[in-house]
Chains A and B, each alone.
Chain A
Amino acid sequence: MSSTHVTCTINGDQVEFLCRGDQTLLDALRDTAGLIGVKEGCATGDCGACSVILDGRLTCSCLVLAPEAEGAAILTVEGMGGPDGLHPLQEAFLEGAALQCGICTPGFLVAGKALLDRNPDPTEEQVRYAVAGNLCRCTGYDKIVRSILAAAADMKEASEAKETV
């Protein structure tokens, strides 16, 4: 079967890979790029475990064909932390015990980031809508929502501290 050559940016790095026309971006990220933080829960758009930020928008990677990634910028959970350590959302999830088995966690983190990127000061209701496309079978929703709110507060405090320096 013929392969398509794709060049894109994943977590800030330029990446090239070969994929088939019927392969999803989820499969290419996991099986070819080795980014196994991206999870498969349902493969039909319902659970959000495969969430990535694709060209600035939160997307289920199971609903994207891998060749569509040509020229795109993709962020997965692996790209959230930096050289200085974990992302504030990751810190807040640890602090708030916002996970049990952890399968849904990468998707919630990426969805949380997509929200905070466009709305740094969300209300609880806005957080709940922003993660409505993410399912957690261990039913940790309250802790997840509270941790996203805590991360938003931490990030606000950090940026205000920076401004006063």
Chain B
Amino acid sequence: MKYIAPASVEEAVSILAGGAAQAYAGATDFLPQLQMGRPKPEQAVDLKRIDRLVDLRLEGDTWVIGAAVPAVRLTEEEQLAAELPGLVESAALIGSDQIQSRASLGGNLCNASPAADSVPAMVVDEGRAVIAGPGGMRTVPVASVVTGPGQTSLAEGEFVVEFEFDRPPARTSDAYLRFIPRTEMDIAVVGAGVRLSLDDSGRCTAAAVALGAVAPTVVRVPDAEEALAGRALTEEVLAKAAAASEAACNPIDDKRGTKEYRRRVAGVLTVRALKLAAARAADR
């Protein structure tokens, strides 16, 4: 395996076009996978020397986060943490401080684990992925990138350059909560990302709910979103959203939890995340 660190997006595109190369960022999934016996690519293409991939900036009303920016930098960017607290808290949950120094949103998404923590938050915040490849650049919703465990819609030679998130309007906020059997360093049993907007009376005008780790890919919960839109967040309405989340799950049984348990936790976390996002939205 040869190491290559291209200095520009164009250079990376030409190296990756061969098909024998693999792009990586923090290597917190990539190197453990090689250790576990996955075949090594001929070339390991380090994306971290490309300025655009490690840049984090506000461009007009859009946050642009380079695909290789390590999670710790999201936490350090106070304005981002204030405007998209759910997105930042989801990235902050990825691993230990050692992992935070390296793990990127691009790697978290493209590794395509059903339990990837940042993905439900990116989905409810309607993130867009800017993708470069042999055919040029294209921008797609984050929600369309992962197609199954370990599978993405990226074509051969394509890679994510950066993510775009529109700054939320007033009285709109997000939240991400995950449940793990320990308090740190474990994989989500369920992750719940939500975003909602409130009117002046505190009624919910629009909501987005997405769940991680309960199906082969992150699932949106349109029934919960419909139950919330246009209503005050009464216990009755929240219970409807919880029931919709439970119904949207298609979980597996494993050592971290049974199917029934995961379903139940998905409902509980949905309600808690909604309450948190509502409190944040009311403050903006």
Contact = CB atoms under 8 A, between A and B. Distances in A.
B44 A65 contact: yes
Nearest to A64: B27
A89 interface: no
A114 interface: yes
A57 B101 contact: yes
Contacts of B184: 129, 132
Contacts of B43: 21
A138 B127 CA distance: 44
Contacts of A134: 96
A22 B40 contact: yes
Interface in B1-23: 1-3, 5
A63 interface: yes
Given A57-B101, A58-B101, A65-B3, A132 B96 contact: yes
Nearest to B101: A57
A129 B72 CA distance: 14
Contacts of B72: 57
Nearest to B73: A57
B46 interface: yes
Given A2-B2, A57-B72, A65-B46, A133 B97 contact: yes
B99 A45 contact: yes
Contacts, number: 84
B185 A132 contact: yes
Contact of B102 (A48, A63, A115): A63
B115 to A, nearest CB: 16
A133 B2 contact: no
Contacts of A48: 96, 98
A21 B1 contact: yes
Interface stretch (B28-36, B226-234, B250-258): B28-36
By size class, the interface of chain B is 20 to 34
* Most chain A beta-carbon contacts within 10 A, residue among B31, B72, B97, B184: B97
B26 interface: yes
Given A58-B97, A130-B97, A45 B32 contact: yes
A45 B34 CA distance: 12
B31 A132 contact: no
A44 B97 contact: no
Interface string A49-62: 00100100111101
A59 B2 contact: no
Given A45-B95, A68-B5, A59 B35 contact: no
A157 to B, nearest CB: 26
Nearest to B182: A132
A21 B27 CA distance: 14
Interface in B35-88: 35-36, 40, 43-44, 46, 48, 70, 72
B185 A21 contact: no
A165 to B, nearest CB: 34
Given A2-B2, A22-B40, A132-B185, A63 B26 contact: yes
Nearest to A60: B98
B99 A133 contact: yes
A22 B95 CA distance: 24
Given A44-B32, A62-B31, A63-B26, A133 B95 contact: yes
Interface of B: 1-3, 5, 26-28, 31-32, 34-36, 40, 43-44, 46, 48, 70, 72, 95-99, 101-102, 184-185
Given A21-B2, A62-B31, A111-B98, 9 more contacts: A2-B2, A45-B28, A45-B32, A48-B98, A57-B70, A58-B97, A60-B98, A115-B97, A133-B95
Interface of A: 2, 4, 21-22, 24, 43-46, 48, 51, 54, 57-60, 62-65, 67-68, 70, 111, 114-115, 129-130, 132-134
Task: List the 6 shortest-distance A-B pairs measured between CB atoms, nearest first.
Answer: A133-B96, A21-B3, A57-B101, A44-B32, A22-B1, A67-B3
